[in-house]
Amino acid sequence: MNVTHTQGNDKLIERLDRMIRSNRISHAYIFEGSECIDKKAFAENFAKGILCPVNEGDGCGRCGICSKIDHGNHEDVMYVSASGRSIKDADIAAMQESLKTKPFGDRHVVIVENADTMTLRAQNRLLKTLEEPPGKSVIIMLSENMESLTPTIQSRCVKYRLNYAGSENYEQMMSAAEKIGGMLLRREPFYKVKKEADAVLGSDSEVSGFLDGLQVFFRNMLINDKKGISLYKDEDIIAYIHAVERARKQIKDGVSPVYAVRNLIIKIGG
């Protein structure tokens, strides 16, 4: 995939490239990531990798297909976005009608922006398409928080988390998240953890990167716990991951990022 600013997502991109080249493309994906990440651009580059006849996997970026995707007018790439504040049943119904037509090329690719705004009725309608996908169609859902999607939707999709990669301080944010995550697990005093967080979080974009890093830290703990004895319960680590999601949602709802992070520190650190 010819994606700019891929720092932190290199392994995912390599995995998707191999998937395309080996013809193991799933019918549905969920890409979850903070609002700072250009998830639409990521999905469009994934679509290029799938549809490009010149450079399968990466997309050449020069052929007619890649050019049309760049300009948002490729006949086989459909977009679904919110009507007002949510994606409604009628939006999904219109997409399903379009999928009944024969693609100009090999397959249709559907990009659902802000998929986590889908109403329950819209999700139930989409579920029918996920259960019986037409032809070789690929549905790509973009979400800030996939927990807003029903478990039945999630279970029928390949799910990936996009790390925040727009900051030059990415490595610093990841290191800070790992250090602060460790302090929280050790139940170090609030004032120490707060001081450490205040020292590295100077902007809203850095807060977003930090929250992504913290979530990666806890998710890696879950994976590593399967390989040996752990000092922490899986249910506690899962609760910490959900606490990070809640902090992200608070910020989206207008809460001060500084307040949201401090509240997160209190919730996890006890």
- Same domain, yes or no, for 15 and 120? yes
Number of domains the chain is built from: 2
Tell me: the pLDDT tens digits for 169-204?
A: 667 778 888 999 999 999 899 999 999 988 878 767
| Domain endpoint, select from 138, 161, 184 | 161
Domain at 180, CATH number: 1.20.272
Out of 12-26, 156-170, 211-225, which region has the weakest mean confidence (pLDDT)?
A: 156-170
The pLDDT confidence band at residue 59, using thresholds 50, 70 and 90, is confident
For residue 229, pLDDT beyond 50:
no
- Same domain, yes or no, for 33 and 105? yes
**Domain-located, residue 135:** yes
- Same domain, yes or no, for 88 and 134? yes
Average pLDDT over residues 158-179: 76
Question: Does residue 49 or residue 34 have the better pLDDT?
Answer: 49
**Domain-located, residue 96:** yes
Domain range spanning residue 138? 10-161
| Domain endpoint, select from 161, 178, 194 | 161
**Domain-located, residue 3:** no
**Domain-located, residue 153:** yes
Question: Does residue 252 or residue 85 have the better pLDDT?
Answer: 85
pLDDT the model gives residue 131: 93
- Same domain, yes or no, for 133 and 254? no
Residues in the chain, overall count:
270
For residue 230, pLDDT beyond 70:
no
Amino acid present at 232: Y
The pLDDT confidence band at residue 4, using thresholds 50, 70 and 90, is very low
Tell me: the pLDDT tens digits for 122-157?
A: 999 999 999 998 889 999 999 988 888 999 999 999
**Domain-located, residue 5:** no
With 0-12 CB in 10 A as exposed, 13-18 as middle and 19+ as buried, what is 188?
A: middle
Question: Does residue 16 or residue 171 have the better pLDDT?
Answer: 16
- Same domain, yes or no, for 131 and 191? no
| Domain endpoint, select from 142, 161, 180 | 161
The pLDDT confidence band at residue 1, using thresholds 50, 70 and 90, is low
Distance (Å, rounded) from C-alpha 12 to C-alpha 32?
A: 12
pLDDT the model gives residue 199: 85
Average pLDDT over residues 75-92: 94
Four-point Cα dihedral 88, 90, 96, 102, nearest 10: -130
Question: Can you list the positions of beta strands (E) in 56-131?
Answer: 77-80, 109-112
Distance (Å, rounded) from C-alpha 250 to C-alpha 27?
A: 32
- Same domain, yes or no, for 143 and 175? no
Contacts 24+ apart (CB under 8 A), 88-92: 88/119, 88/121, 88/122, 89/119, 89/121, 89/122, 89/125, 91/122, 92/118, 92/122, 92/125, 92/126, 92/129
